Amino acid sequence: MHNPLRSEADVFRLVVVIGVAAALVVGLTLITRPVVGVLLAALLIGVGIGLAWRVTRGSEPRTVESAQVADDTRRILVVANQTAAGRELLAEIGNRCRGCTCEVMLVSPALVGSRAERWASDIDEGLDLARERMARSVTALRGIGIEVRAEVGDPDPNMAIEDALRSFPADEIIISTLPPQQSRWLEHEVVERTRREVALPMTHVVVDLDAERAAAQSQIRAA
């Protein structure tokens, strides 16, 4: 069995649920009798153990597969958000598509800023930002002759990859992130989970947006 608490967000949710359950038990005990509170606590503990057992069983390692097509086209699934239009990523895609027929699917998981926004499904701003970055990347790739389609994916990058592979028969995956000290995806082990769970070659591209902006400003001053 595996630990179902894979991230800080999972732990936070668990703490909130425990807090609400404890408040419910205390409140019911105060307005009724202690024995009622004890019975409710026992019931909640039993339900919690049952749910934890089911979640733990459901977290066994699994393999996500792609229905690959036997032809000469190279199909690349690219997963990126903040770095979708980064120079390093665009160069990597261009190099892989050079000299062959190539199709690219760019998936940009919607960014959700806070846990409250994620729980409330308030992701409109994240969707808009993802679409804006996607549009810049698509324009750049089509400008060098690469056929590309794009879509906004699930806020969870690993779920976005699984969803995309249902409709796009990828031969390989490129995941683009910010540097380790800045990347939430690396903090949440998105790259490691993909390597474990997806039966496809995977390349991790690191894009330093701060360095790219500094280089662009230097070019402007030198012009």
What Cα–Cα distance (Å) separates residue 121 from each residue in 31, 118, 197? 35, 5, 26
Query: In the predicted model, is pLDDT for residue 25 greater than 90?
Result: no
Residue 44 contacts residue 21 (beta carbons within 8 Å) = yes
Give the per-residue pLDDT at 58. Answer: 46
Cβ within 8 Å of residue 52, ≥6 positions away = 4
- Higher confidence at residue 222 or residue 95? 95
Give the per-residue pLDDT at 149. Answer: 92
pTM of the complete model: 0.68
Q: Among the listed ranges 16-20, 70-74, 172-176, which one has the minimum average pLDDT value? A: 16-20
Query: pLDDT tens for residues 66-103?
Result: 666 678 899 999 999 889 889 999 999 999 999 899 99
**Which range among 17-21, 62-66, 181-185 has the greatest average pLDDT?**
181-185
Q: Report the SS3 class of residue 201.
A: coil
Query: pLDDT tens for residues 112-149?
Result: 644 444 444 455 666 777 788 788 888 888 888 888 99
Short-list 22, 78, 99, 115, CA closest to 207: 78
Within the chain, how many helices (H) and strands (E) appear?
9, 5
**Which domains are assigned to the chain?**
8-58 (no CATH), 74-217 (3.40.50.620)
Short-list 40, 64, 87, CA closest to 164: 64
